[in-house]
A and B are shown apart, each in its own frame.
Chain A
Amino acid sequence: MSKRWHPRSGWIVWIGAASLFLLHHDFWYWNDRTLVMGFLPIGLAYHFAYSMAAALLWAGAVRFAWPRHIEEWADQPAPSRPQSPVRMKS
């Protein structure tokens, strides 16, 4: 991840997520019998494309809103282990 995370980049991703959430409700294709490529009902084609758009959205999130600092935080030695009942012996 060469690009440094910027708060504004993250906002674009979350606006995209909210838009995609709303676009799920495709009432405009509710009764449309159009076939895409002669066999695929347009309502199904729309939701197939929706799945691809979701993948693109999350690719954008990984690219522009990735929490880089989490990895470093996880790798740092914990100051004290909160009440954990399991302690590895090896």
Chain B
Amino acid sequence: MILTIAQTSLTPLWIIIAYLGLLLGLGAISSRFFRGTAADYFVVSRSVGSFLLLMSVFGTTMTGFALVGSTGESFAKGIGVYGLMASWSGLIHSAVFFLIGIRLWAIGKRYGYMTQCEYFRNRFESPALGFLLFVILVLLLIPYLLVGVIAAGRFLQATTAGMFPDLFVMTLPNGNPHPLTGSLPLWLGSLVICLVVLGYVFFGGLRGAVWANTFQTIVFMVTGVIAFYLIAEKFGGMEAATARLLATDKSERVIRGSQIGNAQFFTYCFVPLSVAMFPHLFQHWLTARSARSFRLTVVAHPVFIAIVWTPCILIGMWAAGLYAEGGLRLPKNPDGTPISNAVLGAMINQLMHSPVLSGLVGAGVLAAIMSSLDSQFMCVGTMFTNDIVVRFAGPDRFTDRQKVWISRAFILAIVAVTYALAVYMMGDDRRSQSVFALGVWCFSGFAALFPLAFAAVYWRRTTRAGALGCVLVTAIVWCILFYRDVFAEKSAHSEDETLIFGMMPVAFIFGASAIALVVISLMTRPLSNATLDKFFVPAETN
């Protein structure tokens, strides 16, 4: 996400500052609605209606990748990226919300649950499973958090290049000025983003995150569409833009062709299943006022994905043509290939020359990043409070007020640790690339735990040993494939996805996880009917 284009106007920075100020203001207002109970801080007293649930769930699910990554992937691989990532997600995310989200909401409401581990621990009568899941879910979330913090810092650095030529001087090893000289340093940009997110989550709890996510979702959807319209206008219209691409040697970007393989295209369907095990999404589900609140989310989610992704895919496709013509300059990887994540920023800076648009899109990208970060920080704080402190100290040891302050202390600590880790990772390009590779793999880890979430809700024969086996097998297979990919085979700067026999690795981890769950469950003693009856909604009789 490194841009090389010097940006001397301070307008984009002022727009971003105004945006961050608005977010803090929203956090301050939301905190005035705080009712003082733990249930209000952690799950907004289960009072969120249809619209806020849709916006907060969508904002949490979409990261900065939805704007920056999708444009870059389309630049590199063409239109097939939409089918690969967006249309699968539209179908499968909604299926998960409908089939699993609503049932978990009902169980959570009936028994007053706050976290995923609490549910699984009681569902399988296994403190060991609850603790194992806690460790795995936190470990999978940390890289996800690091990716968000580092990406936000990089984006602010790229957006502010050239704004402070005397204050933040950067030079290349040969003594020449660095293309990003005069920009906000990575550590400072990341710090600002961490503090803003901390500000509205610390005081407002999950209500602050829900309100901020709603605002941020509107911002990144609107800015994406505005950027698309103005870029198309600059080409002389959408037809002219596509015609220019077709006249270049990158015309294959209008087809899927051989750019994405058959097996990869199909097995990508496993990746969106990760939403079933995202602990931060589980927490958002619990905020729903009623099951009916899910209806809008289930129906509108695929439409929202199309609204965000389609313009970005077209911009990326047109950028490939412009780059082939020599009309677009992009920074390069050490192997000489262009850095695809720089495409959206470069298209805006070099085509539009508009500081206002740069600022708006900058705010949009930060909105997409922060709308995931806030829920994740909040979720880890909630898990530490409820699954560790309250669990071991006893349910009646603390008052609600104390629980809220314990959670705030944890959120503060998690933000500090994440920031410190992010600064350490930023110090070395190779370490930084490893974090991004790990972030991609984390999705596979969450997705491979889908059989556990599905079986817990629908298969009464699932046993405690089956659930534990499923989690352990997932962890083992994930570690083996991750080691093979990141440490054993891939170069540090490779942007290509690892495939096994042309398929996504998640397909193999998922398969192993599902087989372990089914086979071990069938070989072991089922849970008592009394326990099962508590967790299975009786079938409708009329």
Binding site for B on A (CB under 8 A): 1, 4-5, 17, 20-21, 24-27, 29-33, 35, 37-41, 43-44, 46-48, 50-52, 54-55, 57-59, 61-62, 66-71, 73-76, 78-90
Closest chain B CB from A53 CB (angstroms): 8
Known interface pairs A52-B306, A68-B540, A83-B122; A39-B257 also in contact (CB < 8 Å): no
- B400-415 near A? 1/0 per residue, CB < 8 Å: 1000000000000000
Main secondary structure of the interface of B (DSSP, over half): helix
Q: Are A70 and B302 in contact (CB under 8 A)?
A: no
Any A CB within 8 A of the CB of B111:
yes
Q: How many A-B residue pairs have CB under 8 A?
A: 198
Q: Are A33 and B106 in contact (CB under 8 A)?
A: no
Known interface pairs A30-B256, A43-B255; A86-B299 also in contact (CB < 8 Å): no
Q: Are B91 and A74 in contact (CB under 8 A)?
A: no
Q: Are B400 and A88 in contact (CB under 8 A)?
A: yes
Known interface pairs A25-B266, A67-B537; A73-B83 also in contact (CB < 8 Å): no
Known interface pairs A70-B291, A87-B396, A88-B39; A51-B256 also in contact (CB < 8 Å): no
Known interface pairs A51-B90, A55-B300; A43-B305 also in contact (CB < 8 Å): no
With a cutoff of 8 Å between Cβ atoms, the chain A residues found around residue B390 in the complex are 85-86
- Interchain residue pairs A-B with the least CB separation, the first 10: A74-B106, A39-B238, A41-B254, A51-B306, A54-B302, A38-B239, A87-B395, A44-B79, A85-B391, A69-B540
CA distance A89 to B339 in the complex (A): 54
Q: Which of B107, B241, B254, B266 has most chain A Cβ within 10 Å?
A: B254
CA distance A39 to B343 in the complex (A): 20
Interface residues on B, range: 35 or more
User: Pick the contact of B255 from A1, A4, A30, A47 — CB < 8 Å?
Assistant: A30
Closest chain B CB from A68 CB (angstroms): 7
Any A CB within 8 A of the CB of B113:
yes
Q: Are A62 and B110 in contact (CB under 8 A)?
A: no
Known interface pairs A50-B87, A86-B118; A76-B110 also in contact (CB < 8 Å): yes
Q: Which of A25, A30, A51, A73 has most chain B Cβ within 10 Å?
A: A51
With a cutoff of 8 Å between Cβ atoms, the chain B residues found around residue A37 in the complex are 238
Any A CB within 8 A of the CB of B68:
no
Closest chain B CB from A26 CB (angstroms): 7
- B79-118 near A? 1/0 per residue, CB < 8 Å: 1101100111011001100100011011101111110001
